[in-house]
Amino acid sequence: MADFLVFQLYGPMAAWGDIAVGEYRPSFAHPSKSAIIGLLAAALGIRRDEDERQKAFADTCSFAVRVDAMGTLLRDYHTAQVPSEKKGVTRYTRYSELAVEKLNTILSSRDYRCDAAYTVAISFRDGSAYSAQMLADALCKPVFVLYLGRKSCPLALPLQSKVVSATNFKDALEGHSFSTNDLPGIVPSSQTGVYWEDGIESGYEREHVIARRDVPLSRKRWQFAERQENYAGIRKEG
């Protein structure tokens, strides 16, 4: 038996970044590793520019995610005004960006998932500086604001974080049900799926493998490495 951190994610909109080339910013239909690690790091107070702490934390975590409601795709045609980059100059607020006399307009198409719901399970390797209980407490009182992939995607329900003793990810996830009774916008999926990292004992029978470039290498430079992610289809009762 081992301790697993289990929590739920839901918001009107979420964005789980994929490889972005040019003006198009796609989104996966389920959370990326970088988004999950970033959310947990924000709860702990680990800053984005603390690359070593970010990497050390990511290296000690493994996760699995169950898609409780697939949601729908929303594509937004996005315009924004930004100043030209200037070496040695950092603008920390939107106010300081707009205070520049000459602004450039950038265009992009951005994908979001609307009314999607997920349950996440996290395990921690030996030697981790953090325990499941420490993370559960941090999610209840996060240091930084938590969001679903992008700052424009706030959480709409409590995370309901808890620590579960289980033999594997399957046991940990099956012990947690995401209730959709009070949220008519959510369409629960009867035939859904679970995704988990390669190289860990999940308890599920793998059906196929996908490649994702979402392992954070440097948050400051937006660099990510590739990993293998396993999938298993499951049918929910009721």
Q: How far apart are the first and last CA of the chain?
A: 28
DSSP 133: H
Q: Tokens 């999950």 correspond to what residue? A: 36
Nearest to 151, CA basis, from 45, 20, 17? 17
C-beta separation of 149 from 51 below 8 A: no
Token pair, residue 140, equals 């209840």
Classify each residue of 218-236 as buried b or exposed e, where b means 16 or more C-beta atoms within 10 Å of its C-beta. Answer: ebeeeebeebebbebebee
Q: Is residue 80 part of a domain?
A: no
Q: Is residue 78 part of a domain?
A: no
Q: Is residue 164 part of a domain?
A: yes
Per-residue model confidence (pLDDT) at position 142: 97
pLDDT band at 176 (very low <50, low <70, confident <90, very high): confident
Question: In terms of C-beta density within 10 A (0-12 exposed, 13-18 middle, 19 or more buried), how is residue 21 classed?
Answer: exposed
Q: Is residue 104 part of a domain?
A: no
Q: What is the mean pLDDT of residues 77-101?
A: 87
Evaluated on CA atoms 193, 197, 199, 201, the torsion sign reads: negative
* Domain range for 48: 2-69+114-235
Paired strand residues for 117: 10, 69
Please say if the pLDDT value at position 235 is more than 70: yes
Per-residue model confidence (pLDDT) at position 108: 85
User: Which of 42-46, 178-182, 196-200 is predicted least confidently?
Assistant: 178-182
Please say if the pLDDT value at position 180 is more than 70: no
Q: Is residue 188 part of a domain?
A: yes
Q: Is residue 106 part of a domain?
A: no
Q: What percent of the chain has pLDDT over 70?
A: 93
Q: Is residue 225 part of a domain?
A: yes
Neighbours of 212 (CB within 10 A): 21
Q: Is residue 156 part of a domain?
A: yes
Per-residue model confidence (pLDDT) at position 21: 73
CATH of the domain at 206: 3.30.70.2660
Beta strand ranges found along 70-103 (DSSP E):
72-82
Q: What is the mean pLDDT of residues 149-160?
A: 92
pTM score = 0.86
Per-residue model confidence (pLDDT) at position 5: 96
* H helix runs in 72-125, sequence order: 94-98
Contacts 24+ apart (CB under 8 A), 154-157: 154/11, 155/9, 155/10, 155/11, 156/10, 156/11, 156/12, 157/8, 157/10, 157/11, 157/183
DSSP labels for 2-45?
Answer: EEEEEEEEEEEEE-EE---BTTEE-EESS--HHHHHHHHHHHHT
How many domains are contained in the chain?
A: 1
